[in-house]
């Protein structure tokens, strides 16, 4: 277990925050630090065909050790962390034999990880938790997944009696800003199917995800001295407020679950003369997804009719689509993962992803790619944690999938 802890900590203490405002790939230079480290470790452990391209996509091969023909499978994780919360200067804390009580993350700032608020903590009483120090995220999303794939490959190399077919592994940048699969070379990867190790609690197995789009709304106003403003001044912030008020008030992340979609206003910046809103649009159902985009267009048209043409400008960009359409025809790849979990005494939790993974885009690029748990909780913030035992179970699932596939 210490080997797992050491590897995970060596990854999370490298700052790999991605940047949505950058046009480069990877979006930040610092992502190269972990990408190059992974290349060195893959070579050192004995993986073959280790490569890193000009965009920091890392790939490697574990050759088959059986004589019969076996499908080539892949395991994929991303090494960037979200720009939503700082991933610089991560200082992980180890909590052995968790007692079920409050965990003091930062005494000076009175930051506490408590089961009174995060009830899932009680699932891990008696286990070893890795937490933040309360001032950064942890980076288990998705450095837990990276750790699991690396440890699983190392285990298979060191235990050649375990039979498996050819396995490809891939590590990607910029997943957190929706670009993780954009430059992924599916043909080079050469797998029949793959799994992203990018879920949360133990047992999660997902092959449905949101259809997703991003929307930028620019509201144009006119600035005039307030003493002479009557009939002349147009306050863009107030019009932006009209736009927000026209959205369905119950269809937001904090009031929806399961298959329910939402609009999420996540950024606003404004002055009298110009206000900019940024939203994300999410829905599992394709028609409802289209209807949501149409609603934004309708609100825009109505406000322009009311306040004048060009007052509100709307830009919508699709980001990814529900992988269910691509995975359902090859459901045996989900069945294999489910069987692997059951063989290990893990109860599969098959449910829709309220988000997306590299796998959703890869599935549309010709690489069917369900998602498997990586073990962490409370991603993207100071309360993030991961039980070491959950990382170990994910490693076991990878190994078991490899064995089952070799038997099919």
pLDDT, tens digit (0-9, with 9 covering 90-100), for 21-37: 999 999 999 999 999 99
Give the pair of three-digit tokens for residue 15: 């700052």
At residue 197 the predicted structure's pLDDT band, cuts being 50, 70 and 90, is: very high
Catalytic residue among 41, 133, 174, 175: 175
Q: Can you give the pLDDT at residue 225?
A: 87
Kindly give, in sequence order, each residue whose CB lies less than 8 Å from that of residue 393, ignoring residues fewer than 6 positions away. Answer: 202, 344, 346, 375
For the stretch 247-261, pLDDT in tens is 999 999 999 999 999
Q: Which parts of 218-327 fold into alpha helices (H)?
A: 236-245, 286-307, 324-327
d(CA 185, CA 202): 30
Helix (H) or strand (E) holding 350: strand 349-350
For the stretch 297-322, pLDDT in tens is 999 999 999 999 999 999 999 988 99
d(CA 195, CA 16): 22
Contact call for residues 172 and 78 (beta carbons, < 8 A): yes
d(CA 349, CA 365): 26
Identify the residue whose tokens are 């009311």. 306
d(CA 52, CA 35): 8
Helix (H) or strand (E) holding 44: helix 31-45
For the stretch 81-98, pLDDT in tens is 999 999 999 999 999 999
Length of the chain: 408
Q: Does residue 194 register a pLDDT over 90?
A: yes
Q: Does residue 408 register a pLDDT over 90?
A: no
For the stretch 221-275, pLDDT in tens is 999 989 988 999 999 999 999 999 999 999 999 999 999 999 999 999 999 999 9
Average pLDDT over residues 198-211: 94
* Proportion of the chain above pLDDT 90, given as a percent: 95
Q: Does residue 52 register a pLDDT over 80?
A: yes
Angle between helices 388-407 and 140-158 (to 10 degrees): 50
Chain mean position to CA 253: 16
Contact call for residues 255 and 311 (beta carbons, < 8 A): no
Contact call for residues 18 and 24 (beta carbons, < 8 A): no
Q: Can you give the pLDDT at residue 249?
A: 96
d(CA 68, CA 70): 6
d(CA 361, CA 322): 9
Q: Does residue 332 register a pLDDT over 80?
A: yes
Residue 335 designated active-site:
no
- DSSP code of 262? E
Q: Does residue 133 register a pLDDT over 90?
A: yes
Predicted model pTM: 0.87
Going by C-alpha positions, the residue among 79, 30, 50 that lies closest to residue 180 is: 79
Residue 19 designated active-site:
no
**3-class DSSP assignment, residue 316:** strand
Contact call for residues 181 and 326 (beta carbons, < 8 A): no
Q: Does residue 178 register a pLDDT over 90?
A: no
Q: What does the DSSP assignment read for 194-231?
A: EEEEEE-STTEEE--B-EEEEEEEEEE-B---GGG-TT
Catalytic residue among 19, 80, 142, 396: 80
- Cα of first residue to Cα of last residue in the chain, in angstroms, is 31
d(CA 22, CA 257): 32
Cα-Cα-Cα-Cα dihedral sign, residues 7, 10, 13, 16:
negative
For the chain, what is the mean pLDDT? 96
Q: Can you give the pLDDT at residue 229?
A: 87
d(CA 113, CA 151): 28
């Amino acid at each position: 277990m210490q080997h797992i802890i050491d590897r995970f900590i060596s990854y999370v203490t490298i700052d790999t925050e991605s940047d949505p405002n950058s046009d480069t790939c990877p979006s930040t230079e610092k992502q190269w630090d972990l990408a190059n480290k992974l290349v060195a470790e893959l070579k050192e452990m004995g993986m073959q065909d280790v490569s890193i391209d000009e965009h920091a996509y890392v790939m490697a091969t574990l050759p088959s050790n059986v004589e019969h023909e076996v499908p080539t499978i892949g395991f994929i994780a991303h090494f960037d962390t979200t720009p939503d919360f700082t991933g610089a200067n991560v200082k992980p804390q180890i909590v052995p034999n968790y007692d079920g009580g409050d965990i003091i993350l930062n005494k000076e700032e009175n930051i506490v990880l408590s089961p009174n608020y995060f009830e899932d903590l009680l699932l891990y009483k008696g286990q070893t938790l890795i937490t933040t120090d309360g001032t950064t995220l942890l980076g288990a999303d998705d450095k837990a997944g990276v750790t699991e794939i690396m440890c699983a490959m190392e285990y298979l190399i060191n235990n050649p009696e375990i039979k498996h077919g050819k396995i490809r592994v891939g590590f990607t940048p910029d997943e957190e800003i929706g670009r993780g699969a954009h430059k992924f070379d599916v043909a080079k990867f050469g797998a029949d199917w793959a799994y992203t190790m990018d879920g949360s609690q133990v047992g999660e197995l997902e092959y449905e995800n949101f259809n997703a789009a991003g929307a930028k709304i620019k509201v144009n106003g006119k600035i005039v001295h307030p003493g002479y403003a009557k009939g002349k001044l147009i306050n863009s912030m107030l019009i932006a407020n009209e736009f927000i008020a026209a959205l369905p008030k119950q269809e937001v992340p904090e009031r929806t679950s399961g298959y329910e979609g939402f609009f999420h206003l996540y950024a606003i910046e404004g002055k009298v003369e110009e206000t900019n809103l940024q939203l994300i649009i999410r829905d599992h159902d394709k028609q409802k997804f289209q209807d949501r985009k149409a609603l934004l267009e309708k609100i825009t048209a109505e406000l322009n009719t009311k306040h004048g043409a060009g007052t509100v400008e709307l830009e919508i960009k699709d980001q990814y689509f529900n992988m269910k359409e691509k995975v359902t025809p090859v459901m045996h790849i989900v069945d294999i993962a489910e069987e692997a979990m059951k063989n290990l005494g893990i109860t599969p939790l098959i449910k829709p992803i309220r988000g997306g993974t590299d796998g959703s885009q890869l599935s549309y690029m010709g690489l069917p790619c369900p998602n498997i748990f990586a073990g962490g909780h409370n991603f993207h913030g100071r309360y993030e944690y991961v039980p070491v035992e959950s990382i170990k179970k994910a490693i076991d699932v990878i190994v078991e999938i490899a064995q089952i596939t070799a038997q099919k």
